[in-house]
Structure 1
């Protein structure tokens, strides 16, 4: 008889992962020889969600260069609470509130300096870009994913960038698939 698994435990697994035998970590449940009856619910990565992300990215791009504080500026200034993973004098890394992997940390420069997206990078930004990548490595080590992680940087509305303050996504803790996106 197949065991029922709460949908909340499965939300971070793609349909491709669910088609294979797997073990749900932390639950002592082995489903390698059973079929999982999935509740009839929409998966969180539906076409509608993609459309909403595209619309949000286009709306954010319209005010990208306004100079107004972003949500990340408010996190840097501690006006909005966050779960900080790493911080130094130039970089801040904190957990994403909508994680797309078991480990999903955002790494941002503390000073924007016109660097709202990678497409706006100039030679003078070389040092901070290097520090962001090195901070991603430190985050991976702290999170125990140094053996395999992905760094994603979205630039512009076509890449669904929704916050115009340059940021890296450090993703890991599960098998990544290729191609992404």
Structure 2
């Protein structure tokens, strides 16, 4: 169910629980600012989620409240994961859903990295 990104951070969300080690994930990258892991319901041959370690509901929340170090670290982590997966040669797509109309389902900022096949149009109509 889509969430309201204007609500306060809910620390019982699935990504907060993964960050605390309460739930497993197929981890592929971690540093002080970000965690990257394979999506449990992949929509492409490569489907990775990258999440900041801080409690941010959405991109709006993150861009308003995160420190410069958190922002730089998160963006660099997304790029590193894509390069480590060798996606830059064939291309890849980044997606961050924010809010109800975009279909955000988890109230923790996350970026999807899709690759490994032609990805089609940007939006389905």
Q: Which TM class, normalised by the smaller chain length?
A: 0.7 to 0.9
Cα shift at 1:68: 3.4
Confirm whether residue 135 of structure 1 aligns to residue 84 of structure 2: no
C-alpha displacement at 1:101, in angstroms?
A: 0.7
TM-score using structure 2 length: 0.85
Contact 1:105 1:169 in 2 (8 A): yes
Structure-1 separation of matches of 2:111 and 2:23: 19
* Greater length-normalized contact order (CA 8 Å, ≥ 6 residues apart): 2
CA contact (8 A) 2:9 2:108 kept: no
Q: Which runs of no fewer than 5 residues in structure 2 stay unpaired?
A: none
Distance 1:86 1:109 in 2: 12
Give the RMSD, CA atoms, in angstroms: 2.1
Moved over 6 A (4+): none
Residue equivalent to 1:41: none
Post-superposition offset of 1:139: 1.0
Structure with max Cα Rg:
1
For 1:69 and 1:125, the matched residues in 2 are separated by 23
- Report the equivalent of 1:51: none
* Contiguous gaps of at least 5 residues in structure 1: 1-55
Relative distance call for 1:76 and 1:68 in structure 2 (3 A) is: closer
TM-score in terms of structure 1 length = 0.61
Residue 179 of structure 1: aligned partner: 122
Aligned length: 122
Name 1:153's counterpart in structure 2. 96
Return 77-86 or 171-180, whichever deviates more.
Answer: 171-180
